[in-house]
Chain A
Amino acid sequence: MRTTVTIDDELAAKAEELLIDHELRQPQRHPVVGESRVAIAPDEALNAMLSTQAV
């Protein structure tokens, strides 16, 4: 029996394909290592990193 695919399904499949393609092109833009986002400004984040080991 032939399976009928609605246009919406086709679009959804295409969108998923594009999404996968996008992620493959940029596989590590936001790598899953600990918290992937920060809520503080970059200079504050960097200063925090640099001062982590400060005595």
Chain B
Amino acid sequence: MCDTLCAVGRKRTLFAKNSNRPRDEVQVVESHPRRPTGGSLRTTHLELPDAGAAAVIGSRPAWMWGFEHGINEHGVAIGNERIFTTDDPHDAPPALTGMDVVRLGLERGRSADAAIDVMTALIEEHGQGGRCSEHHDDPYWSSFLVADAHGAWVVETSGRRWVARAVEDGAAISNRVTLGVDWTRSSADVAPGTDFSHLIDPNVPTEPSDVRLATTRACVTTGADLLTPRDLVATMRHHGRRAWGAPGDDPSDVDLPQPAGAPGWDAFTVCWHIVPVESTAASMIAELLPAGGPLRAWFALGSPCASLYVPTFPPEVPEELASAHTWARFRALRDRVEVDRGALTPIRAVLGPVEARLWDDADAVAHDPSRRETFGRAVWQAVDGALTRLGV
């Protein structure tokens, strides 16, 4: 389960995703350089001809090839969502997973438009299928949010079928079909005027997604010209009551996760703690500027509330974020909060000031390439120090 949003403004696009995964599944943030065309490529379940790749940074569940979310050197950001339709994914043979499609879109897309051309062509040619969980036969279809500095697309799929709608000011997607008859592009097997929402699986409630969409859409409605990446962090830390925890805010102003036994759908929050099934495993915020502007992304491992968003200037990223050990350190903080939600307050007392300083420092060097390099080398020292202070 996940949440993804983007806000498209006159001068930039803001993008965010929370990746909610099985609680023991390690996720790593990796930077991959350009790769020339040729040979073959082993995706999670399929071998494909390798069309080459742009430089990408992606957040990858360690056992699979694909990315939950990521950004490429051309300023394209992509994230996916598990969605439920009346087509049963167990009927499909192993093929591409939604996470494979995210990574292939980033590797091959020089723009959001180009990326959805690539992604939908691959879905039509190879299909989707195969397990998406390391230890369970758990295949699913995906929807996607594909963004660059100039615009974005929502793509929703069911097997090889897909529809897409261009995003105007912004959009948010979650674990449900959101498009109806408002799509403008589709696979050939979708008749004009088809209401895609008729594919919604009636056996799967949409409320856990609807409550989170209310949160993410409220953020998007603010508009890219008023929002900042810090606002997106506050939304990704949402525990069902309010956005909180923007870098630089009072670190003692903490909104705890929902208590055990929270009524109704209240437990299904953007910062996701459904113990013992799933929790947020990683998160990304990106600021996509037109050519020439510095590309910026902030990556968090573990739950956003019990983590910090590390500022990066793609394609550079601290190599420690690619370590399973680093994920385990953040996971330990998340576990601490999920055992005793009150533990979040002292955790934020340590992480909050460090995060605020890193964000301020990153802002200060954003337009100076030489200082950005120095910042990139120093950033992990501050993160490591905070984690050590917290005993992880």
- For A30, list chain B residues within 8 Å (CB): 211, 264-265
| B263 at the A interface (CB under 8 A) | yes
Q: Chain A interface secondary structure, helix, strand, loop or mixed?
A: loop
Q: How far, in whole Å, are A25 and B11 apart by their CA atoms in the complex? A: 28
Q: How far, in whole Å, are A5 and B45 apart by their CA atoms in the complex? A: 72
| B203 at the A interface (CB under 8 A) | yes
Partner of B205, one of A28, A35, A47, A55: A35
Partner of A43, one of B137, B265, B277: B277
| A6 at the B interface (CB under 8 A) | no
Which range contains the number of B residues in contact with the other chain? 20 to 34
Q: Is the CB of B207 within 8 A of A36?
A: yes
Which residue, of A28, A31, A38, A53, has the highest number of chain B Cβ atoms within 10 A?
Answer: A53
| B196 at the A interface (CB under 8 A) | no
| A11 at the B interface (CB under 8 A) | no
Assuming the contacts A28-B214, A29-B214, asked whether A34 and B205 have C-beta atoms less than 8 A apart, the reply is yes
Which residue, of B90, B206, B265, has the highest number of chain A Cβ atoms within 10 A?
Answer: B265
Cβ distance B345 to chain A, nearest Cβ, rounded Å: 23
- What number of A residues sit within 8 Å (CB to CB) of B? 24
| B261 at the A interface (CB under 8 A) | yes
Q: Is the CB of A50 within 8 A of B138?
A: yes
Cβ distance A38 to chain B, nearest Cβ, rounded Å: 6
Residue of B nearest to A34 (CB): B205
- For A50, list chain B residues within 8 Å (CB): 138, 277
Chain A 28-46 per-residue mask, 1 if CB under 8 angstroms from chain B, else 0: 1111011111100111011
Q: Is the CB of A52 within 8 A of B204?
A: yes
Q: How far, in whole Å, are A5 and B88 apart by their CA atoms in the complex? A: 61
| B375 at the A interface (CB under 8 A) | no
Q: How far, in whole Å, are A53 and B129 apart by their CA atoms in the complex? A: 14
For chain B residues 220-255, which have a beta carbon within 8 Å of chain A? none
Q: Is the CB of A53 within 8 A of B268?
A: no
Partner of B261, one of A26, A28, A41: A41
Q: Is the CB of A49 within 8 A of B211?
A: no
For chain A residues 10-36, which have a beta carbon within 8 Å of chain B? 26-31, 33-36
Q: How far, in whole Å, are A35 and B264 apart by their CA atoms in the complex? A: 10
- For B1, list chain A residues within 8 Å (CB): 46
Cβ distance A8 to chain B, nearest Cβ, rounded Å: 32
Q: Is the CB of B265 within 8 A of A33?
A: no
Partner of B203, one of A27, A47, A52: A52
Partner of B211, one of A28, A34, A35, A46: A28
Chain B 113-137 per-residue mask, 1 if CB under 8 angstroms from chain A, else 0: 0000000000000000000000001
Q: How far, in whole Å, are A37 and B211 apart by their CA atoms in the complex? A: 11
Cβ distance B176 to chain A, nearest Cβ, rounded Å: 9
Residue of A nearest to B1 (CB): A46
- For B70, list chain A residues within 8 Å (CB): none
| A1 at the B interface (CB under 8 A) | no
- Please, could you name 17 A-B residue pairs with CB atoms under 8 Å apart, sorted by A? A26-B214, A28-B213, A29-B211, A30-B211, A30-B265, A31-B207, A31-B210, A31-B211, A37-B263, A37-B264, A42-B267, A42-B268, A43-B276, A46-B208, A49-B204, A54-B137, A54-B138
Which residues of A come within 8 Å of B, CB atoms?
Answer: 26-31, 33-38, 41-43, 45-47, 49-50, 52-55
New contact pairs (6) apart from A46-B274, A46-B277, CB-CB < 8 Å: A42-B274, A45-B208, A49-B84, A49-B205, A53-B88, A55-B88
The 10 closest A-B pairs by CB, nearest first: A28-B214, A42-B267, A37-B264, A31-B210, A52-B203, A46-B274, A55-B90, A43-B277, A46-B277, A53-B88
